[in-house]
Amino acid sequence: MDDIVPDRWYAILESTEVPANAPVARRRLGRDLVLWRDGQGTLHAADDRCPHRGAALSAGTVEDGCVTCPFHAFRFAGDGRCTSVPAHPDQPISRQLHLRTLAVREAHGLVWAWTGAGEPTGEPLFFGLDGFTDAGSRFDVEWPVHYTRVVENQLDWAHLHFVHHTTIGRFVPAEVDVQLEVTGDRIDSWIEGQSGRISVLCPNLWMLEMSAHTRAVLAFAPIDDGRTRIYSRTYQDRVRVPGADAVLGLLNRLANRVVLRQDERVVCTQRPLHGGLHQGEVYVRSDRPIAAFHRWRDTLRHRDAAAAK
Ligand code: FES
Ligand SMILES: [Fe+2]
């Protein structure tokens, strides 16, 4: 898949999508993956293709913590090693039967995948939301665009007045003086004279400070070059009574669905399907946060390309 930034954690799905005792299939980062949990509940991910004769491992089972192929029941441990070939239990197992794995972690209710070739460094970045709850607010949708178009859209202050004039953009003026602060992997922006702040933790996590007590958070999971799954949550720290927090979460969920649909109508018409600085689009001053995101991405991608020479 194009445009994946190396050596970073990407949020790729919700933890709850992988049950305790069965493998699941997901296409993410341009790869068909199988994800499963071992006996300790630790998550593992690998290519969803059996090295023996190509069956999908996600159609199999989990036995003794190993993903087990539905065809001839070869087993694979979390580190990718083939541990059992039932047709020849007494013979040594070929190293060619090793599965290609992907380093994954679970944090903040999300599964994160490491995009580097070596061992992961550091932990997934997240926003400081201690004391907040997202009960009842989660949902996800899929858009037919590259994830960079979704990130761009969420860094775009100038569209609020036009695309969201019936919802979150009702009180945002057409004229916007966009301010920007870039710190490492974090991009913050706001409009001079308006409350609210948009923060992106590169490569694919976003937060809108809607009020002192409410934060909308989105993760943009790349499926492939033309598809992105968007995971949405609303965090709030005002209502903590169990049940009541979920009702508020449900209302936020419904509202966010409407807002995302308004975005989808426009973003899914953009061509090409991915965004970037060098494809003939004419940026204006209000696009500075979008330009900052692409510069961050280009710097890391080119550094990787230079290192590979
Ligand atoms: S194809 Fe998977 S064990 Fe044979
Ligand atoms: Fe929008």
How many residues are there in the chain?
Answer: 309
Spacing, Cα 74 to ligand 1 middle (Å): 6
Terminus-to-terminus CA distance in the chain, angstroms? 20
Q: Which ligand is nearest to the CA of 76?
A: 1
Are 172 and 238 found together in one domain?
yes
Nearest CA to ligand 1 atom 4: 72
Rounded-to-integer distance, Cα 128 and Cα 108, Å = 11
User: Which of residues 98, 114, 130 is at a domain's end?
Assistant: 114
Query: Is 41 within the bounds of a domain?
Result: yes
Are 221 and 158 found together in one domain?
yes
Query: Is 261 within the bounds of a domain?
Result: yes
Query: Is 134 within the bounds of a domain?
Result: no
Are 27 and 160 found together in one domain?
no
User: Which of residues 114, 131, 157 is at a domain's end?
Assistant: 114
* Closest-lying ligand 1 atom to the alpha carbon of residue 73: 3
Rounded-to-integer distance, Cα 211 and Cα 281, Å = 33
Rounded-to-integer distance, Cα 35 and Cα 78, Å = 10
Q: Which ligand is nearest to the CA of 52?
A: 1
Are 181 and 217 found together in one domain?
yes
Range of the domain at 168: 139-300
* Structure tokens belonging to residue 170: 């009702």
Pocket residues: Cβ below 6 A from ligand 1: 50, 52-53, 55, 69, 71-72, 74
* Closest-lying ligand 1 atom to the alpha carbon of residue 60: 2
What's the DSSP call for residue 58?
G
Are 109 and 210 found together in one domain?
no
Query: Is 164 within the bounds of a domain?
Result: yes
pLDDT tens digits, residue range 134-165? 999 999 999 999 999 999 999 999 999 999 99
Query: Is 179 within the bounds of a domain?
Result: yes
> How much is the pLDDT for 304?
61
Are 198 and 254 found together in one domain?
yes
- Average pLDDT (97-113) is 97
Q: Which ligand is nearest to the CA of 85?
A: 1
Are 143 and 24 found together in one domain?
no
Percent of the chain with pLDDT over 90: 93
> How much is the pLDDT for 301?
82
Query: Is 146 within the bounds of a domain?
Result: yes
pLDDT tens digits, residue range 83-100? 999 999 999 999 999 999
Residues near 176 by Cβ (< 8 Å), separated by ≥ 6?
A: 157, 158, 160, 161, 191, 286
Are 109 and 167 found together in one domain?
no
> How much is the pLDDT for 13?
98
Q: In degrees rounded to 5, what are phi and psi of residue 261?
A: -65, -35
* Closest-lying ligand 1 atom to the alpha carbon of residue 74: 3
pLDDT band at 194, cuts 50/70/90? confident
pLDDT tens digits, residue range 211-266? 999 999 999 999 999 999 999 999 999 999 999 999 999 999 999 999 999 999 99
Q: Which ligand is nearest to the CA of 216?
A: 2
Are 105 and 157 found together in one domain?
no
Give, for ligand 1, the residue of 48, 58, 61, 72 to mutate: max count of ligand atoms closer than 8 Å to Cβ.
72
What's the DSSP call for residue 291?
H
pLDDT band at 302, cuts 50/70/90? confident
Query: Is 76 within the bounds of a domain?
Result: yes
Give, for ligand 1, the residue of 48, 67, 74, 84 to mutate: max count of ligand atoms closer than 8 Å to Cβ.
74
Calculate ∠ Cα 202-205-209, nearest 5°.
115
CATH number for the domain spanning 176: value is 3.90.380.10
Let me know: does 104 contact 114? Beta carbons within 8 Å.
yes
Nearest CA to ligand 1 atom 3: 72
* Structure tokens belonging to residue 306: 């230079």
Let me know: does 203 contact 5? Beta carbons within 8 Å.
yes
Domains in the chain: how many in total?
A: 2
Are 294 and 145 found together in one domain?
yes
What is the pTM for the complete model shown?
0.96
Query: Is 49 within the bounds of a domain?
Result: yes
> How much is the pLDDT for 308?
57
pLDDT tens digits, residue range 258-299? 999 999 999 999 999 999 999 999 999 999 999 999 999 999
pLDDT at position 309 over 80: no
Are 28 and 110 found together in one domain?
yes
> How much is the pLDDT for 91?
97
pLDDT tens digits, residue range 53-86? 999 999 999 999 999 999 999 999 999 999 999 9
pLDDT band at 307, cuts 50/70/90? low
CATH number for the domain spanning 58: value is 2.102.10.10
Give, for ligand 1, the residue of 61, 67, 68, 69 to mutate: max count of ligand atoms closer than 8 Å to Cβ.
69
Are 270 and 214 found together in one domain?
yes
